[in-house]
Amino acid sequence: MRRFHEALTVVILSALSQTALAVPFTFEARSLGMCGVGVATADLATAAWANPAMLTNQPMESDWSLLIGVGVFARDNDDLADDIDDFQDADEAREAAEDAGDLGGALRATAEMRKVLSGIDSKVISAEASPLIAIGASFEHFAMAISVRSDVIAGGVVTDISCSLLENIPNPGSCQADELFSEDFNILNVEGVIATEFGVSFAKDFQLWDRKVSIGIKPKIVDLRAFTFQESILTADADDILDRDDNKEDLGTFQSLDLGFALDLSDSVRMGLNLRNLITDEFDLGNSTLNFDTEARVGLAYHNKFLTIAADLDLIENEPLLANNSFESLKTQYFAVGAEFNAFRIMKFRVGAAKNIASDVPDTAGDVEYTAGIGIWLGFNLDVAVLLNEHTAGAFVQTGFQF
């Protein structure tokens, strides 16, 4: 009975109804199709998140854009969801064996529960859910966009692990056998943040030594809510994480801004730089702190009528937004490459790959991630992208118009 895995999928989707409009940080379907590349390839519809300077990157025949999208992601580098499922399955098998008077079956199931716990310490699972909306406009002397996104980001670890009788043989009495079956031990601790960002972006281009240079800025207000969830993995159900109202806290708002640059090195080669959260802030959560630090990403792209090839690099490591120190393994520093093939502007095919090069993360967190996407013109834009590797899965779908 795979209760936790199934419910985890449900809770990610249910999070969307809790946050009016959202998408994972800096991602939308076109960017995700190229594995997050966007600093030097974004356009009027997508630049609000990838690089505000790229608002000036708009075909002459299109002056307005509307983009609406939604994405969901789950990362389980340590297979924690599988462990929780296995633990619950073993506990059910133990109870069934005891009811049937099968002592051997009960002992085998109990041994399986202890085996799961022996490797569960420090494992982390995380999930994200994000919808978004953006309206862009290109005028004679400048371009602008109004954007809203609300990212739901959560991470969980197991704490208060029950003791092992075998490991405590030298200290008789220090370990109680019933801890394994008690709901006071083996606690799934989930901490999460709902960050809703309202931004207005402006960009201007000009000529410098016969090259197009663009500068963009996005003042923004971010509204924050935190939520927590604690329950024994014996009974933990992901459906309950956002259903309860007593585990949410309004953290308030903060103001910041993003700054972007773009430089056309030639008619086909462009370089971009995006600096996020130039005004930093932190929020006290009691035993920990929620930090919004400055992030920096550089990008380089080659483009012609039929092909775009690009690469993006995070210049610094990005600490996890989640406040618990147990989530340090979720930090990132990505190097990503992607390509887009334009089939006569009717259909676009996208592929990408990225690697997390941050230090001191689990080996599985450094596995190469691959994405693919497609964009179709049906009188309106329809873009779909998917990300998949052994421990990560995600998808994004968006629609919109350019006119």
Structural domain boundaries of the chain? 21-78+127-232+250-402
CATH H-level, domain 21-78+127-232+250-402: superfamily: Outer membrane protein transport protein (OMPP1/FadL/TodX) (2.40.160.60)
Residues 6+ apart with CB under 8 A from 118: 164
Check residue 114 and give its pLDDT. 87
- Distance separating alpha carbons of residues 313 and 37, to the nearest angstrom: 9
> Residue 244's pLDDT band (boundaries 50, 70, 90)?
low
Segment 96-151, tens digit of pLDDT: 999 999 999 988 988 898 888 888 887 878 788 889 999 999 988 899 999 999 88
Reply yes or no on whether the pLDDT at 12 is more than 60.
no
Mean pLDDT rounded to a whole number for the chain = 82
Segment 37-49, tens digit of pLDDT: 999 999 888 999 9
Check residue 257 and give its pLDDT. 95
Check residue 22 and give its pLDDT. 29
Check residue 47 and give its pLDDT. 93
Q: Which amino acid is at 290?
A: L
Identify which of 221-235, 285-299, 333-347 has the greatest average pLDDT.
Answer: 333-347
- Angle, CA 312 vertex, CA 254 and CA 270 arms, to 5°: 105
Segment 247-294, tens digit of pLDDT: 778 888 999 999 999 999 999 999 999 999 999 888 876 666 677 889
Identify which of 51-65, 171-185, 216-230 has the greatest average pLDDT.
Answer: 216-230
Check residue 34 and give its pLDDT. 94
Check residue 126 and give its pLDDT. 79
Mean of pLDDT values over 219-232? 87
Check residue 25 and give its pLDDT. 40
Check residue 249 and give its pLDDT. 81
- Distance separating alpha carbons of residues 292 and 254, to the nearest angstrom: 10
Which stretches does DSSP call E strand in 44-109?
64-75
Segment 65-85, tens digit of pLDDT: 999 999 888 877 678 888 888
Cα atoms in the 13 Å half-sphere on the side-chain side of 306: 2
For residue 28 the two structure tokens come to 């939308």
Tell me if the pTM is above 0.95. Answer: no
Nearest to 338 by CA among 370, 365, 316: 370
Angle subtended by helix axes 80-99 and 3-18, to nearest 10 = 130
Q: What are the two backbone dihedrals, phi and then psi, of residue 30, each rounded to the nearest 5 degrees? A: -65, -45
Check residue 200 and give its pLDDT. 97
**36 close to 267: Cβ distance less than 8 angstroms:** no
- Distance separating alpha carbons of residues 236 and 163, to the nearest angstrom: 20
In this prediction, what percent of the chain has a pLDDT beyond 90?
39
